[in-house]
Amino acid sequence: MRKTWICAALIASAAFSTAASARTICTIVADASEHGPALRSGECAERFTPASTFKIAISLMGFDAGILQDEHTPSWPYQPGYPDWGGDAWRQPTDASRWIQYSVVWFSQRVAQQLGEKRFQRYARDFRYGNQDVSGEPGKHNGLQGAWINSSLRISPQEQIAFLRRLVNRQLPVSAHAYDMTSKVTLIAAAPDGWEIHGKTGTGSPGSNGRYDPAHAYGWFVGWAIKGDQKRVFARLIQDDQPTQPNAGLRARDGLLQELPALADQLTRRSH
């Protein structure tokens, strides 16, 4: 049911995507092996806010620490005062599966808060995640509320690829259960030629004060794809030059999903 909904959403948003005014900052599709071949275009070394792509890392942390047990346990209720700019979908009881599907910010905050500052920082450091700075907005010490959203945490597309390679090859210091459950909740679609796609969108903007600028929004789509014994990791980052709907993260996803099978095949030919 979920896959059907996502595929329908991709088709419905295609018309909006073609009209959107955005530039692609970077696209990387790479073999998941540590030094495997990669297709790369654009400027991929500069760091940006990871926005909701950091939910992949938070998922690994939450499941490893035992805060999250499986895709449906725990289920936490929405409470007044929680972020709700995601609309009614964010005002519902939410479990890990629903958290990733609807990108619910307050669920991320609850996991981070239960981890606590020291453990949250230790995971970011052990994951070698971008600049590893989860302190939050300057002078506010609010990293657990959203260091990953237009705040202190920064990561480049090429660092996203390095992190995803460590994830796919299970080289991060987390449990097998954390890998298994994160893989389960990030499964988003099956491409027509048989690729199993895992990933997460993210929408952010410039600045480190937690404020969102829709006229200059960044859109991420990062993740991994599996087909038989082939494993690929990918990252795309775009930026708008005017307020555009749907959001930049969804359009980054839609565009890359359309191109991913051809890029993955091209990478296979290059490696032979």
Q: 144-198: per-residue pLDDT in tens?
A: 999 999 999 999 999 999 999 999 999 999 999 999 999 999 998 766 678 999 9
Cβ atoms within 10 Å, residue 83: 16
Return the sign of the alpha-carbon dihedral for residues 3, 8, 14, 17: negative
Q: 272: pLDDT confidence band, cut at 50, 70 and 90?
A: low
Name the 3-class secondary structure at 190.
strand
Backbone angles phi, psi at 24, to 5 degrees: -90, 115
41 as an active site residue: the answer is: no
For 222-259, letters b (16+ CB in 10 Å) and e give bbbbbbeebbbbbbbbbbbeeebebbbbbbbbbbbbee
Structural domains in the chain, sorted by start:
2-271 (3.40.710.10)
Q: 209-229: per-residue pLDDT in tens?
A: 888 999 999 999 999 999 999
Q: 50: pLDDT confidence band, cut at 50, 70 and 90?
A: very high
- Residue among 17, 33, 41, 52 flagged as catalytic: 52
Residues in CB range of 83: below 8 A, 6 or more apart: 90, 105, 106, 109
